[in-house]
Amino acid sequence: MARMTARRALSAVPVLIAVTFGVFAVAAASPFDPVKAYAGTAGLTASQENLDQLRANLGVDRPLVTRWWDWLTSAVQGDLGVSSVMRMPVADVIGERAGWSLLLATCAFVIAILLGTALGVLAARRPRGALDRCVSSAAYTLEAAPAFWLGLLAIWVFALTLDILPAGGLTDAGSDTVTFGQVATHLVLPAAVLGISQLPWFFLYVRQGVTDALDEDPVRGARARGLSERTVLLGHALRSGMLPMLTLIGSRVPELITGALLVETVFSWPGIAAATVQAATSVDFSLLAALTVLATAAVLLGNLLSDLLYGLADPRVGFDG
């Protein structure tokens, strides 16, 4: 198991390097102009000479490979460069924001997994029952609903109509200090929306997995032996029904990142996702490359995690190595 982890870590290196080059290449080929993005509205009145000077100052007139190599070599030495859109070192941008995104994503993930599993098991217990029909159709609807729309809906219901939760931000707009209570109340809506937008996948997988497992011989055997319904359901059916879901956990990570992107925007959450969009549309090479490395690493870790969990949950599945 340790060997598998080490081997995966090793193979991640060329993947990450290739991804950064890909980011530079795609960004360079994109029609967006980093100088225009940097200059913002001022660029719309700037003279050509002024813009050309900016291009030289920002170093974006150099060839793609040179820029990438410079970034990579200094990144390896711990210098991630300066973000042109945030006007500060990339390390500071990530340091200030990654924590808030991680908090949001973790809470959302936990909500999705716990709620999804619980509802899935309950629905599988009585397939075609009232609860199953209700939750299943809700799940299909949710799957089609964009997180953005859910966010606006949540704001409308909980912030506007009921006025029990804040509509956005990390803290109250008027408050400067970040306190636990403030962050906690502001986290509820974005975490719930992001979690609920992920929930259908977990619910549907668990429901299907557990329903199938309930029909399998081992479960029938367990029932026949007179074990309690509870033990059969949780100890036998859920255990084998969980297997596909463990793979899902890993593969949902990228979706979680893109979902967070929209949710962070709707709720003005000062996380890393909002910065990613800005970096991409402004062709902020340094920031974009660093963020892509982070996202890629998250996906690789997610896959590793699901493989490890799978191995732990089902002893028949060995660790590859």
Please give the residues from 184 up to 223 whose contact with other proteins meets the rule CB under 8 A: 184-188, 191
Q: Which of 166, 200, 259, 302 binds other proteins (CB under 8 A)?
A: 166
Task: Measure Cα distances from 163 to 147, 159, 166 in Å.
Answer: 21, 4, 8
Q: Are 264 and 101 in contact (CB under 8 A)?
A: yes
Interacting positions 1-20 with other proteins (CB under 8 A): 1-2
Interacting positions 77-116 with other proteins (CB under 8 A): 82, 85-89, 103, 106-107, 109-111, 114
Nearer to other proteins, 67 or 186 (CB): 186
Interface with other proteins (CB under 8 A), residue total 77
Q: Which of 4, 165, 243, 294 binds other proteins (CB under 8 A)?
A: 165
Q: Which residues of 133-156 are buried (b: 16+ CB within 10 A; e: fewer)?
A: eebbeebeebeeeebbebbeebbe
Residue 162: partners with Cβ closer than 8 Å, 6 or more residues away: none
Minimum distance from CB of 115 to other proteins (Å)?
Answer: 11
Interacting positions 115-154 with other proteins (CB under 8 A): 152
Q: How many CA atoms lie within 13 A of 308 on its CB side?
A: 14
Residue 73: partners with Cβ closer than 8 Å, 6 or more residues away: none
Nearer to other proteins, 15 or 277 (CB): 277
Q: Which of 169, 294, 298, 304 binds other proteins (CB under 8 A)?
A: 169
Tokens 């029904």 correspond to 241
Tokens 């609903």 correspond to 145
Q: What is the identity of the amino acid at 298? A: A
Q: Which stretch binds other proteins (CB under 8 A): 48-56, 121-129, 233-241, 251-259?
A: 48-56
Minimum distance from CB of 230 to other proteins (Å)?
Answer: 20
Q: Are 64 and 56 in contact (CB under 8 A)?
A: no
Q: Which stretch binds other proteins (CB under 8 A): 119-127, 130-138, 182-190, 202-210?
A: 182-190
Tokens 């309950």 correspond to 122
Q: Which of 269, 295, 300, 307 binds other proteins (CB under 8 A)?
A: 269
280 contacts other proteins (rule: CB under 8 A): no
Q: What is the identity of the amino acid at 36? A: K
Minimum distance from CB of 174 to other proteins (Å)?
Answer: 4
247 contacts other proteins (rule: CB under 8 A): no
Minimum distance from CB of 5 to other proteins (Å)?
Answer: 9
Minimum distance from CB of 130 to other proteins (Å)?
Answer: 27
Alpha-carbon dihedral of residues 26, 28, 29, 30, nearest 10 degrees? Answer: 80
168 contacts other proteins (rule: CB under 8 A): yes
Binding mask 21-40 for other proteins (x = CB under 8 A): ----------xxx--x-xxx
Rg (C-alpha) for the chain, rounded Å, is: 24
Q: Which of 28, 58, 72, 138 binds other proteins (CB under 8 A)?
A: 58
Residue 246: partners with Cβ closer than 8 Å, 6 or more residues away: 306, 309, 310, 313
Minimum distance from CB of 133 to other proteins (Å)?
Answer: 28
